Amino acid sequence: MKVVDVLLRDLGYYDALADYEIDLKTNPITLNFMVRTGPKYKLLKFNLSSNSLDNQLFNALSLDPARFNMIPETPATLENIKQGVRRLFEILGNNGYPYVKVLNEKITVDHDQKGIEVLLHMDPGKLVRFGETMIAPAEGIDQDFIKKRLKWKKGDVYSNLKVIQTIETLNNTQQYAFVKITRPNKQPDGSSLTMRVEAFPESTRTFAWKTGYDANNNFNVKLGWKGINLFDDGSLIKVFGGFGQYYNGLAFEHIVPDAFWTESYLTTRFDVKRTHTNSYSGMAAELSSILTTPIYDKLRADTGLSLKFSSVKPKSNLLNDHNAPIISVPLAIHYEQMDDLMMPRKGWDAHFEITPAMQVAPQRQFVQFKLRQSILRPLNDDHTLILKAWYKLYASPSAGKRVLPLDWQFFAGGMGTVRGYGYQHAGKRDANGKPIGGRSMFAMGAEINYFISNDLALQGFFDAGSNYQGRYPNFSNALLMGVGGGVNYMSPIGDVQMVVGLPVRRRDSDKRAQFYISLGQDF
């Protein structure tokens, strides 16, 4: 019963009464628990104290505990208190006090006011600043390349956040397999911290592969090769190949870091592909050059130029052929705040893109925009149960009905939009069942992921969406919905994903279920 009492107190029930009885007359024996929770207690006061009376930041925090989410009258649960203390440590660690210690803690329960008072006596330590930065020498490490990406300067007030941002920035260069930044384990005698940066270079040549299969008998294979710093300039070269029922193609990509200024990337890409879907068949070649640059924190912007020539023949009599070059200027901003790049469990991202385009002959102009966002939220304390919600909104605000080329139109159905329906089939179709695409699309979904381990997760999902003939999603045809589940396993040879989706509003030509299986590495 002590375990039950502790659990109830952790949940804020300090008046709870728990008891049990054993019924020996039943077979097997029945054990009945009886719990009367009583009222949930509130936080009455959070007292923060220290022997460092001249610490202005600490004194300000003690006068305003709301800055670290300790607000009176909020539920007095153990998790709320832990989150507040973590936030307190975070504020101090980002403002020059990374060596803070808890000297004494006490919780006083007031049964008359149905609340608790928390006392936390701490030693924040001395204010410290960034000192010398030592970069560990290693083969393939350009120290100047790393120094340009440090988020601090010598003499700056120490911040854990700046250290994390530096690690993320170095990881984003794709030059390193692992980056480690350390400071002294103990508070130094002086106010200066010597920082040590260790970067472990990626293999200069990397090969990756991925294969997949779905219920429409679409078997596909993707191959990739990456070369890093082949010309001693920090640039990356990528070669991609894709082969399958719907797509065959080859692409070449060259990425130049610090193209115009630090952390700007110039990506030049050329690809040739043959597409054969239920909607159309076509050949296309595209050359593009995109400059990516930081704006603020994790906010980045893209701008560039693209030239695409395609020859497309539709499967439906309702659609027109397309055989002309198109020049476009893609412009985008995107933000990503995730706790892990490989298998995130908390955070959100957003992407907005607007692309003015012009068909050369006959001359036609149109504009497209794409907005997509996703959010990940843990549903329990140990972050093993994760909710993911997402949406995609695509539109062509200035494109007439016969202006937008078929391979620029939007389709819903399959992985990435509405699972449970065939590829491109979650939208309007002609009398023969051929998808006809649309000038706009809307899709949304929610997923519950349960992590059995760091490498294995079970998934359940709900998707809804469709594409529309209008310039904006007008919901003239109902959203098609799919439900299902699957498993995701990070194996030693790559990510294994198995998903089954069921259409909620199954039409005559829709299969009863859609299966999606993939194995390999994203490149």
Query: Is residue 275 classed exposed, middle or buried when 0-12, 13-18 and 19+ CB atoms within 10 A define those classes?
Result: middle
Same domain, yes or no: 196 and 210:
no
pLDDT of 342 over the 80 cut:
no
Percent of the chain with pLDDT over 90: 66
- 291/397 same-domain check: yes
> Domain total for the chain?
4
Spatial separation of the C-alpha atoms in residues 250 and 270, rounded to whole Å: 9
372 and 512 assigned to the same domain: yes
**Are residues 59 and 31 both part of a single domain?**
no
Same domain? For 175 and 287 the reply is: no
How many CB atoms within 10 Å of residue 365? 11
pLDDT in tens, 473-504: 998 888 999 999 999 999 888 899 999 999 99
Q: Would you call 273 helix, strand, or coil by DSSP?
A: strand
Binning pLDDT at 50, 70 and 90, where does residue 432 land?
confident
Predicted confidence at residue 97, as pLDDT, reads: 96
Do 105 and 32 fall within a single domain? no
Which CATH number belongs to the domain containing residue 119 in this structure? 3.10.20.310
Q: Which CATH number do you get for residue 355?
A: 2.40.160.50
Residues 222 and 195 in one domain: no
Judged by average pLDDT, the poorest of 11-25, 49-63, 360-374 is 11-25
Do the beta carbons of residue 224 and residue 242 sit within 8 Å?
A: no
Q: Are residues 187 and 223 in the same domain?
A: no
Query: What confidence score (pLDDT) does residue 90 get?
Result: 95
Which residues on neighbouring strands pair with residue 336, listed in sequence order?
349
Query: Parallel, antiparallel, or unpaired for β 440-451 and 456-468?
Result: antiparallel
pLDDT given for residue 117 in this prediction? 96
Q: Are 89 and 48 in contact (CB under 8 A)?
A: no
pTM, entire model: 0.79
Q: 190-241 pLDDT, tens per residue? A: 899 999 999 998 888 888 888 988 866 678 899 999 998 877 778 899 999 9
Considering the domain architecture, whether residues 349 and 459 belong to the same structural domain is answered as yes
Over the chain, what is the mean pLDDT?
Answer: 91
Domain boundary among 91, 123, 155: 123
Domain of residue 446, residue span: 205-520
Is there a single domain that holds both residue 80 and residue 183? no
pLDDT at res. 297? 82
Provide the pLDDT for residue 180: 95
pLDDT band per the 50, 70, 90 thresholds, residue 9: confident
Regarding whether 294 and 275 lie in a shared domain, the answer is yes
Last residue of a domain, one of 201, 223, 254: 201
Give residue-wise pLDDT tens across range 306-322.
999 999 999 888 888 88
160 plus 278 within the same structural domain = no
Q: Assess whether pLDDT exceeds 90 at residue 457.
A: yes
440 sits in the region (left: phi over 0; alpha: psi -120 to 50; else beta) called beta
- Which of 181, 201, 221 is the last residue before a domain boundary? 201
Structure confidence at residue 523 (pLDDT): 66
